[in-house]
Structure 1
Amino acid sequence: MTTLPEPKPTATAAGQAQLDDQAAKLLAAVEEAMRTPTSYRDDTPLPAYGPTPPVPQPGTPAMSQAATDIGRAAIFCGLATVPPGLVATAILLASQQADPVVIGMICAAPAALAVPILAIAKLIRGAKPEPEVHQHFHGPVTHQTTHTKTNGVWARTNNRR
């Protein structure tokens, strides 16, 4: 078995001391950054008067006018079906002619009338003329108008110029 000679100690590379100093400065900066807190929780009690943080307000949450109108229409349509249904059910039970099929038809009648009325109202409201648009261009401009229409349950887009 041959023995290998011991490796000779290598001389320090030029600039090694400078790299060690830079590494030491970097480590000192990281340690300093780690000592500084990054968050703070203020546990002092809030004042009884003056500026306070926001709290949830009672009532309907803020939403657009269209969403408010649709929500209220749904509530009113739902409430409108309760009295006639209860009256019809009470009359049928009192006369001992309560047939579940008849009760179902009587209770569904107001909703069956409300759906077409709401659909017609939406069509009338949506039949507004398109606003006239005036565009003024200065210089070389390429203007393209694309009409997009999507139909069906499985969306098929038809783009035309």
Structure 2
Amino acid sequence: MSLHDPAARPLTEAEADARAQELIHEAYRPAPLSYRDPSPTPAYGDAPPVSQPGRPPMSQRATDASALMLTGSVAALSVSGGVSLVLYTLGQVDPVTLAIGAAGPVALVLAAGSLLKSLGRAKADMSTTTTHHHHYAGPVRQETTNLSSTTKGMIARTNNTFGGR
């Protein structure tokens, strides 16, 4: 063993302090926050699918309807809770009265939704129904041709049907 070998000779006071600081910094270095596995993912596997936590995947329309229902339930809950609190403080906590007071806002929201839906359907029906009036002052030959087209199958096959009078 030579004296120039760092393992063979004792450290000086300054070298010992520097090495101690280095070991302390290594010990308290934060762990990495993420890790990416470099191995390639298999094309398929034999493990069965596992349900994931949270909401299941759904269409945008279903997501919008779900959010609307959750919002309506929160609004109905707050109004019904307020009605319940008022009835309780007044001493009128008859179960039938409480049920009517709690169901009132929900029924109002459902009725308003039904009304808006029927108004939308009525507007759509009025816009699609058209009446044509033709007034002629001489001999007229009128022809009407209807074209009906249907496409079916995985490999698209279109059938055109022409009909006329």
Q: TM-score, normalised by structure 2?
A: 0.42
Q: TM-score, normalised by structure 1?
A: 0.43
